[in-house]
Amino acid sequence: MAMNKNTVLAWATWIMIFVGLGLIALGAFRYDDVAGWGFAAVGFGFFAVAWVFNALKGRV
């Protein structure tokens, strides 16, 4: 499978989405104290970076 810039960004976007979902799930279901808020915030940060990767497809 030939990987060009757009497919690398697409894979990175999907990986960031899955990691972000995992972090949000950890914050929601595993940690009930202040650490849960931190995990959820980092998860939403991963979503923001995935959004940027998706916006860069076709422009780089």
Whether the predicted model's global pTM rises above the 0.75 cut: yes
Across the chain, which has 60 residues, the per-10-residue mean pLDDT values are 86 94 94 91 95 86
Tell me the C-alpha distance between 19 and 55, whole Å: 19
Q: Supply the pLDDT for residue 2.
A: 82
Single-letter amino acid, residue 54 = N
Q: Supply the pLDDT for residue 57.
A: 83
Cα three-residue angle 33-39-43, rounded to 5 degrees: 150
Q: Supply the pLDDT for residue 5.
A: 87
Q: Cα–Cα distances in Å, from 17 out to 1, 2, 23, 38, 48?
A: 22, 23, 10, 17, 9
Q: Which residues contact 17 (CB under 8 A, 6 or more apart)?
A: 46, 47, 50
